[in-house]
């Protein structure tokens, strides 16, 4: 084992750890090798907090459920360490994040932006066909691999089973386990502020999960922010945290979120040099009302591809309503995975969730984890610790 890995001694069954390549508050990521000899990235949970572990187990579940794709960092294996912490082995990607490839204030150009976005939209296809929202779309969660030719999506630590499909699959034993059985997001604001959809902010104030509005259209908004950034060199609603104490940081965040919720579609700053046809595609993705956006990443892909190939934008007569349908190939993939799991071991049930103490105020968790870089920011409001 590499000396860097010995700072957090871990014993795995089925994998061997090497150098530490990234870490955050709740997890560390190592270079590693499976018993088969394949080189992998191994993410090991550090925290024993109940909600954090449940999110990690959901990440494993989603990674296993997604069909194989060239544009998604692939699942390889998972298990628990000798002291009971879950770990996830993923495809090792030689490359760099999109965040490292773009320079603040410098647009990448229309053609490159469109080509990147087409691949990025493809990377979300499997998630959105299952009705799953990623909730943490940002340049640091997108890898550029194979010499800059291929985009790969990573980090499913904040996914939301927006349509309840994975919960249903668990209930019907199509998927083993019960990782999506309980609500661990009550009062929690998850994501990265500048890329969050308005409903992603407001849902934290809504007590009944059935009334939450966030779904795949929330990811479309975040993809729109990313597209805007590629075309302009900055996000449409920048957030700059000014130095200060914890109370000051909380106040700045709350002021920013209040500003975002009050912003109308007309407040979207125009980008110099962007053609009206392309602007129409971008504006639709960034509509305040989620019902007026593209329904999922595939619909956004279609709009960008149509512009890229023919120069056509979105007319006023376009029907903005859209529905999501589950891809039969995805369901077939889940059934096959379930059959394999049944052959290997019986489904495991986790203990019921621990009751949370009565608390006042809103707890905001702004979380982000990457393979190469792990950054977790936890912001607690109203004196919560």
* pLDDT tens by residue, 181-211: 565 555 566 678 899 999 888 776 655 555 5
pLDDT at 308: 96
Q: Which domains does the chain have, with CATH numbers?
A: 95-351+361-380 (1.10.510.10)
pTM: 0.76
pLDDT at 317: 40
Residue bearing the bigger pLDDT, 175 or 199: 199
* pLDDT tens by residue, 269-295: 999 999 999 999 999 999 999 999 999
* pLDDT tens by residue, 32-57: 999 999 999 999 998 888 888 888 98
Decide if 190 contacts 136 (C-beta within 8 A): yes
Both tokens of residue 149? 């030719």
Task: Give the pLDDT mean for 223-250.
Answer: 90
Whether 368 has a pLDDT exceeding 70, the answer reads no
Task: Give the pLDDT mean for 121-138.
Answer: 90
Judged on CB neighbours under 10 Å (0-12, 13-18, 19+), 244 is: exposed
* pLDDT tens by residue, 66-106: 888 999 999 999 999 888 899 999 999 999 999 999 999 99
Distances (CA, A) of 334 to 59, 62, 106, 174, 310: 16, 11, 42, 7, 37
Distances (CA, A) of 326 to 154, 200, 295: 22, 23, 13
Whether 334 has a pLDDT exceeding 70, the answer reads no
Distances (CA, A) of 1 to 11, 20, 43: 10, 10, 16
Residue bearing the bigger pLDDT, 156 or 139: 139
Residue bearing the bigger pLDDT, 236 or 346: 236
Whether 113 has a pLDDT exceeding 50, the answer reads yes
Q: Which of 81-90, 132-141, 323-332, 376-385 has the lowest mean pLDDT?
A: 376-385
Whether 350 has a pLDDT exceeding 60, the answer reads no
User: Where do we find the tokens 């000396």?
Assistant: 3
Residues annotated catalytic, as ranges: 136
Whether 217 has a pLDDT exceeding 70, the answer reads yes
User: What confidence category does residue 147 fall into, taking pLDDT thresholds of 50, 70 and 90?
Assistant: confident
Whether 316 has a pLDDT exceeding 70, the answer reads no
Judged on CB neighbours under 10 Å (0-12, 13-18, 19+), 340 is: exposed
Whether 115 has a pLDDT exceeding 80, the answer reads yes
């Amino acid at each position: 084992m590499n000396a860097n890995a010995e700072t957090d001694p871990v014993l795995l069954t089925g994998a061997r750890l090497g150098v530490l390549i990234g870490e955050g508050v709740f997890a560390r990521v190592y270079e590693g090798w499976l018993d088969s000899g394949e080189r992998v990235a191994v993410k090991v949970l550090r925290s024993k907090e109940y909600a954090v572990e449940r999110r990690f187990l959901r990440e494993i579940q989603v990674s296993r459920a997604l069909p194989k794709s060239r544009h998604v960092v692939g699942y390889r294996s998972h298990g628990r360490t000798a002291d009971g912490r879950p770990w996830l082995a993923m495809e090792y990607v030689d490359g760099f994040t999109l965040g490292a490839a773009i320079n603040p204030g410098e647009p990448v150009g229309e053609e490159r932006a469109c080509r990147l976005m087409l691949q990025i939209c493809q990377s979300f296809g499997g998630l959105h066909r299952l009705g799953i929202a990623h909730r943490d779309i940002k340049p640091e969660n997108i890898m550029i691999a194979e010499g800059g030719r291929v985009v790969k999506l990573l980090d499913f630590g904040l996914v939301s089973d927006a349509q309840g499909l994975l919960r249903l699959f668990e209930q019907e034993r199509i998927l083993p386990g019960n990782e999506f059985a309980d609500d661990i997001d009550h009062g929690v604001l998850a994501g990265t502020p500048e890329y969050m959809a308005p409903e992603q902010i407001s849902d934290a104030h809504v007590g009944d999960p059935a009334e939450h509005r966030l779904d795949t259209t929330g990811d479309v908004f975040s993809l729109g922010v990313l597209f805007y950034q590629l075309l302009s060199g900055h996000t449409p609603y920048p957030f700059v945290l000014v130095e200060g104490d914890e109370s000051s940081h909380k106040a700045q965040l709350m002021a920013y979120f209040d500003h975002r919720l009050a912003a109308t579609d007309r407040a979207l700053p125009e980008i110099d040099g962007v053609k009206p046809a392309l602007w129409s595609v971008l504006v639709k993705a960034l509509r305040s009302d989620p019902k007026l956006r593209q329904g999922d990443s595939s619909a956004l892909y279609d709009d960008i591809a149509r512009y890229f190939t023919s120069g056509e934008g979105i007319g006023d007569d376009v029907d903005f309503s859209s529905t999501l349908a589950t891809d039969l190939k995805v369901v077939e993939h889940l059934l096959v995975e379930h059959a394999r799991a049944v052959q290997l071991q019986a489904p495991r049930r986790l203990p019921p969730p621990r009751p949370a103490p009565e608390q006042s105020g809103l707890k905001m968790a702004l979380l982000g984890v990457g393979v190469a870089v792990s950054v977790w920011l936890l912001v607690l409001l109203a004196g919560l610790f």
